[in-house]
Structure 1
């Protein structure tokens, strides 16, 4: 496995601690300890869920491309793109509803769209590289 990707994966595993801490934040929002309006509650839940799912997907893509024998460069690029989406998408949800009582998402929602595009790019790169590795092995 590419050493840079190995380092990125190690860092990513450590970020799961932050995602778990985010779960405690959601519990405080849910029980009213942290004041939040309905929009904020919805976006905080979406941000937390996307963080967990996309980090898991990024780790899976990294391992899958490696095991399939995909090109190290393309496999790394695809996995890193998916992991970047795990930053951009939740950031868009969390940061777009900061403030005392937002009524609609702010401009930072663009980060979620950037993350969605990054996710699609990473999955296409990874899918094609795994497919190419499989075809080359036939």
Structure 2
């Protein structure tokens, strides 16, 4: 694993307790009958989505980091493959949480567009990695004789 990928994996692992804390906070609002949460279905739905996306995106980012350095990607493509899902893990939950910060919100504010931005990074990263892994051998595997790369 390249040093940059290893460092990013370490940062992502350090962030896992933040996701756990977020889940504990949601649970405490449910159990404590917190006003502004239980009486606002939109807030419940978006905060639950934010928590779920944060956890799943962190796991997906860690999985992709295992493979990114085995590809022949360079430059911006390598950057997108390595950083796209971690950025989605930040942007998407931030959009879900921050778009309904007000306890009496009846619709999301403009920060909900962070979810779309995160989704674009997610799609770009996953498609880049998927196509790259399907199309050709990794850096460590020599090309078969007579094949084109």
**Equivalent residue number for residue 70 of structure 1:** 71
Asked whether the 8 Å contact 1:16–1:52 carries over to 2, the reply is yes
Instruction: Summarize the alignment of residues 51-130 of structure 1 with structure 2, pairs less than 5 Å apart.
Output: 51-66=54-69, 69-71=70-72, 73=74, 74-75=77-78, 77-130=80-133
CA distance in 2: counterparts of 1:25 and 1:137, whole angstroms: 51
Q: Deviations over 1:63-116 (max 9, x none)?
A: 1333xx212634553131111101111011000001130001111000000001
Residue range with higher mean Cα deviation, 27-36 or 3-12: 27-36
CA distance in 2: counterparts of 1:128 and 1:93, whole angstroms: 29
Normalised by the length of structure 2, the TM-score is: 0.82
Q: Name which one, 1 or 2, has greater alpha-carbon Rg.
A: 2
CA distance in 1: counterparts of 2:73 and 2:9, whole angstroms: 14
Instruction: Summarize the alignment of residues 22-37 of structure 1 with structure 2, pairs less than 5 Å apart.
Output: 22-35=22-35, 36=37, 37=40
**Equivalent residue number for residue 46 of structure 2:** 43
Residue range with higher mean Cα deviation, 32-41 or 48-57: 32-41
Residue range with higher mean Cα deviation, 107-116 or 121-130: 121-130
SS in structure 1 opposite 2:108? coil
**Equivalent residue number for residue 21 of structure 2:** 21
Cα shift at 1:124: 1.3
Cα shift at 1:33: 4.4
Q: 4+ residue runs of structure 1 moved beyond 4 angstroms?
A: 135-138
Q: Deviations over 1:39-65 (max 9, x none)?
A: 111111000000000110011011133
CA distance in 2: counterparts of 1:41 and 1:113, whole angstroms: 20
Asked whether the 8 Å contact 2:80–2:121 carries over to 1, the reply is no
Unpaired stretches in structure 2, ≥5 consecutive residues:
145-149
